[in-house]
Chain A
Amino acid sequence: GDSVTQMEGPVTLSEEAFLTINCTYTATGYPSLFWYVQYPGEGLQLLLKATKADDKGSNKGFEATYRKETTSFHLEKGSVQVSDSAVYFCALSDLEAAGNKLTFGGGTRVLVKP
């Protein structure tokens, strides 16, 4: 079956530091890949996505590239802010799976200190 593995947190950084969160996946088909973010007390919201190999998703200074050869979708940001403190989830959507449902990684909590 489909699965997503992402690095465990928490990840604690100082403001303006570089952030990377590793994500690898296994899928039976050719999935679309997503990063969702959950701010404290809120639901999940889409941060970025990539729908085919070598696509780069980007938003709010975050980037991730769909690497089919290494089955990875690592999230990066060059200079984090305190407002980036949140839980980040890597996810895939396997188009061949019934219901086109999302499979999530375990989430990585990021804490940015001033």
Chain B
Amino acid sequence: NAGVTQTPKFRVLKTGQSMTLLCAQDMNHEYMYWYRQDPGMGLRLIHYSVGEGTTAKGEVPDGYNVSRLKKQNFLLGLESAAPSQTSVYFCASKLLWDRRNTEAFFGQGTRLTVV
């Protein structure tokens, strides 16, 4: 069972460079999310998607873009990386059905350092 898979697991970028983080889930979940984790701040939502072809802004969307062209994939892009985007990024997915009971499943995380 692969669950939620994130690639890459680690990356170092120079300021101004761009990159794309890939999240893939094999559970046929409708909802997908991108969070960033910073010390003492818990996880903050960047963007989310409620289905293929749809995306929406979360709590901290500036400097990021996303796309969900296929139901199983959710891409997070940084067009021009900044040191403030140094963080650990987590992708999560969730079923639409029975929203009160369903849990979110998380990937292993991507540790990004912008120098």
Contact = CB atoms under 8 A, between A and B. Distances in A.
Contacts of B41: 106
Contacts, number: 66
A114 interface: no
B108 A32 contact: no
Contacts of A43: 4, 90, 106-109
Contacts of B61: none
B108 A42 contact: yes
Interface in B1-30: 4
B108 A100 contact: no
A42 B94 CA distance: 19
Contact of A99 (B43, B56, B106): B56
A103 B33 CA distance: 12
A98 B55 CA distance: 11
A44 B100 contact: no
Interface residues of A, number: 26
Interface string B32-73: 010100001111110011100000101000000000000000
Contacts of B79: none
A107 B50 contact: no
B84 interface: no
Nearest to A102: B104
A44 B90 contact: yes
Interface of B: 4, 31, 33, 35, 40-45, 48-50, 56, 58, 90, 92, 94, 96, 99-101, 103-104, 106-109
26 contacts: A43-B4, A43-B106, A43-B107, A43-B109, A44-B43, A44-B90, A49-B103, A89-B42, A95-B100, A98-B50, A99-B33, A99-B48, A99-B50, A99-B56, A100-B96, A100-B99, A101-B33, A101-B45, A102-B33, A102-B45, A102-B104, A104-B35, A104-B43, A105-B42, A106-B42, A107-B42
